[in-house]
Structure 1
């Protein structure tokens, strides 16, 4: 069984502290966010592959972030890059192709991006099925920021772009789980399991019911390192008491299938 953590944040060592400063201050960190630390964390946690997620806060940083992701991937790391709606769709797509990147991270809180922004929809339309998307959904900032990425917005994206390979973080709604259950379960979207500081804080029976209603074949494991400890999150998933087959699919098999990975990738 291959364990894949689809939600890992890291920056160049010299920039990590500044990049993390002031972000989600209410959460305790479980790591320093340095790229040099990430591989060791994955190894100690029993994770075979981690997905390094790049995020450009502004349009001018998009290509630099994508170059960083392209440079660091390999060995234990897969790479998802970044886009920004202040860039035309064709420029975003060109940066991804130039750097050989097949997935992106959207983060409404850090990028100031609303998921119903027509400029973002232009980018998503350009992706088709070529570029996968993993997106923060739900709370984590102030009230205004929290309304930029609601479960209903993600549902609308999934319906508008049926070919898009879309992953919704935090079970589709961080601290908005009622709404996520109402509008996202059963939709054409994968749900990701991270819930900083730990998924173990969510009622296990509720998690089992969410997985049962949505389908265990459309749930993927993510930790959100450095805001959570991958080893603890793996333990929380195993503690759900799902069948071995379902647990293995969630911990790695589903993402490998979604991204067309094999043992050599």
Structure 2
């Protein structure tokens, strides 16, 4: 049983807009369509039992509408997390609504939403999540573009960890996409409620360096993520299976750690 903790699907009009734009601007391949049925097909072919859906709302006004859609298409192994923006007015009410629907966590992306995670204004979000026992999944580090401002650096997230040790935090892309030296410096040794996912890392780290970073973090804190539709889930699974790690470490990454977080 494999659990993919980092997958994205999109409403058809959104997919038709952002996927071609990503191909042009980011100059990356997008092997998936972003449709629920396409993801389910990849899951079936790859032995993935459950995928965590991570919706991302760029604007505050997009949050509730996107959450409505993600809730409507979940099921059949598609587990919804919620979109959120830390500065939206009705943040607590939206978290209440998600919590009432059984949603276990929310996703943010400082790079896209353009905020600093250690900004004092984010404390509403962190404190509300702690109170509800909900998890925060966040993009960390860069993306394929060379941007002037990263926003969600490992150093800034280290401050969040220090200030909010009770926050259940999953740092995507092994703690800092294309910033893994900073991730090691500021986020390790990891402890408490901090976890890391493997999404999209293999495009920038070879298997030896990826395995080394996972062992530095500790396999008990690393969770498999494919980043579908930006990656083929089956390829992402095969990479984890090829890493120079013990079978126990691979099992922890591919499903055991995730199943504990979802209990």
TM-score (norm 2): 0.90
Determine the C-alpha separation between the residues in 2 that align with 1:18 and 1:58: 16
Tell me, which stretches of 5 or more residues in structure 2 are unaligned?
none
Cα distance change, pair 201–139 in 1 and its aligned pair in 2 (3 A) = closer
How big is each residue's C-alpha offset from its partner over 1:138-170, in whole Å with a ceiling of 9 and x where there is no partner?
111453342x10011111112211111111111
How big is each residue's C-alpha offset from its partner over 1:110-137, in whole Å with a ceiling of 9 and x where there is no partner?
3223212222222111110611111101
One of 168, 192, 195 as aligned partner of 1:165: 168
Q: Cα RMSD between the aligned structures?
A: 1.8
Which residue number in structure 2 is paired with residue 194 of structure 1?
Answer: 199
One of 214, 219, 243 as aligned partner of 1:216: 219
Q: Is the 8 A contact 2:208 2:244 kept in 1?
A: no
Which residue number in structure 2 is paired with residue 263 of structure 1?
Answer: none
Alpha-carbon shift at residue 207 of structure 1 (Å): 2.2
Is 1:119 aligned with 2:121? yes
How many pairs are equivalent?
256
How big is each residue's C-alpha offset from its partner over 1:83-132, in whole Å with a ceiling of 9 and x where there is no partner?
11231342342342344322111112332232122222221111106111
Tell me, which stretches of 5 or more residues in structure 1 are unaligned?
261-265
Alpha-carbon shift at residue 16 of structure 1 (Å): 1.3
Alpha-carbon shift at residue 237 of structure 1 (Å): 0.7
Alignment of 1:148-187 (within 5 A): 148-187=151-190
Determine the C-alpha separation between the residues in 2 that align with 1:139 and 1:26: 15
One of 103, 124, 144 as aligned partner of 2:148: 144
Determine the C-alpha separation between the residues in 2 that align with 1:100 and 1:69: 13
Q: Is the 8 A contact 2:214 2:222 kept in 1?
A: yes
SS state of the match for residue 144, structure 1? coil
